[in-house]
């Protein structure tokens, strides 16, 4: 299959897809959508690896989400390392980060688990997919202290100032269906201002379905809708957004492909 566009962040291993996972994957794959499936717990990370192994043009990230960081056990870090080293379909760590909106785990624990996973990624030389919500300051502090310069802020909903800092640091920014929401005028302005050459697109399935499907279960095929809205903000064709975001995804997650 010749890929046309990448859904750089979709949780196809989620139980929301238990009834029709293969159909959902096929619908996207038939349209040339490549997929990167991040974990959020150890179990869902392993499920992401197994799913990627069983499907073409589909890769996995492994990692512990900030919500679940209080469940982190001492051997987990070693297991994450082993997956990255041993499994060819694992292309990085994610999703990791900080979430001070829900506070499902205490913030000190979130910071520790984020920092150790980020340092592991640096050590292994692989990129990270980072979730940050109401925690930009601490995210930035940990990013810059650890000093790993290969990552993406997934489902970006932050300010233009934060976007610019992150890009200057060498990271990418990924936009989701949130850019289609009626009240997301500020976010669409961020899309307009940041260079297309540093943007990725994603669905974050099963969450964040773009308009007109807002509130329904999301699926990777709808990354096309996200790309259309990015194209409208950028005054370019959807095809150009497909091509550029795909080459950005390759540069971040598959540098050996880009290098030849
Ligand atoms: Zn996610």
pLDDT tens by residue, 71-111: 999 999 999 999 999 999 999 999 999 999 999 999 999 99
Q: For 5-259, which CATH class?
A: alpha beta
> 53: CA distance to ligand 1 center in Å?
20
**Structure-token match 């192994």, residue found:** 53
Asked whether residue 145 carries a pLDDT value surpassing 80, the answer given is yes
Residue 139 exposed, middle or buried by CB count within 10 Å (0-12, 13-18, 19+): buried
**Structure pTM?**
0.96
pLDDT of amino acid 256:
74
> How much is the pLDDT for 1?
76
- Average pLDDT over the chain, rounded to whole? 96
Q: What is the arithmetic mean of pLDDT over 203-207?
A: 98
Half-sphere exposure of 132 (CA within 13 A, CB side): 26
Classify strands 128-133 and 151-153 as parallel, antiparallel or unpaired. Answer: parallel
Q: Say how many Å lie between the CA of residue 95 and the centre of ligand 1.
A: 6
Query: How far is Cα 226 from Cα 13, in angstroms, rounded to an integer?
Result: 21
Query: Residue 65 Cα, ligand 1 centroid: separation in angstroms?
Result: 8
Q: How far is the CA of 202 from the centre of ligand 1 (A)?
A: 9
Rounded to whole angstroms, the maximal C-alpha distance in the chain is: 49
- Select from 212, 203, 177, 204 the least CA-distant residue to 191: 177
Confidence of residue 260 (pLDDT cuts 50, 70, 90): very low
Q: Check pLDDT > 50 for residue 252.
A: yes
Distance from residue 75's CA to the centre of ligand 1 (Å): 23
What confidence tens digit (pLDDT) does each residue in 187-197 have? 999 999 999 99
Q: Is the pLDDT of residue 258 over 90?
A: no
Percent of the chain with pLDDT over 90: 96
State the distance from the centre of ligand 1 to the C-alpha of 152, rounded, in angstroms: 12
* 51-67 average pLDDT score: 97
Chain segment 114-136, per-residue pLDDT in tens: 999 999 999 999 999 999 999 99
Task: Please state the domain extents for the chain.
Answer: 5-259
Q: If you average pLDDT over residues 42-46, what whole number do you get? A: 98
Mean pLDDT score, 151-157: 97
pLDDT over 50 at 13, yes or no: yes
- Across the chain, the runs of DSSP E, i.e. the strands, are 5-7, 33-38, 58-62, 90-99, 128-133, 151-153, 172-175, 199-201
Cα-to-centroid distance, 185 and ligand 1 (Å): 22
Q: How many angstroms separate the CA atoms of 32 and 24, rounded? A: 13
């Amino acid at each position: 299959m010749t890929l046309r566009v990448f859904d750089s962040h979709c949780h196809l291993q989620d139980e929301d897809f238990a009834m029709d996972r293969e159909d959902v994957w096929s619908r996207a794959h038939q349209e040339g959508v490549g997929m990167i499936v991040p974990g959020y717990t150890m179990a869902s990370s392993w499920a992401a690896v197994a799913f990627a192994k069983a499907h073409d043009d589909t890769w996995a990230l492994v990692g512990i989400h900030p919500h679940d960081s209080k469940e982190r056990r001492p051997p987990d870090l070693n297991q994450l390392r082993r997956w990255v080293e041993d499994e060819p379909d694992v292309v990085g760590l994610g999703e990791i980060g900080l979430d001070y909106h829900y506070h499902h785990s205490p913030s000190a624990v979130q910071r520790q688990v984020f920092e150790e996973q980020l340092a592991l990624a640096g050590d292994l030389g692989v990129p990270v997919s980072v979730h940050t919500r109401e925690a930009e300051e601490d995210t930035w502090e940990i990013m810059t202290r650890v000093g790993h310069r290969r990552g993406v802020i997934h489902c970006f909903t932050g300010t233009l100032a934060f976007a610019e800092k992150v890009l200057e640091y060498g990271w990418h920014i990924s936009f989701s269906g949130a850019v289609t929401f009626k009240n997301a005028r500020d976010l669409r302005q961020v899309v307009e201002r940041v260079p297309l050459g540093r943007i990725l697109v994603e669905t974050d399935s099963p969450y964040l379905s773009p308009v007109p499907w807002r509130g329904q279960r999301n699926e990777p095929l709808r990354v096309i809708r996200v790309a259309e809205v990015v194209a409208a903000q950028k005054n370019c064709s959807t095809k150009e957004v497909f091509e550029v975001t795909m080459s950005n995804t390759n540069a971040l997650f598959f540098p050996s492909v880009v290098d030849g």
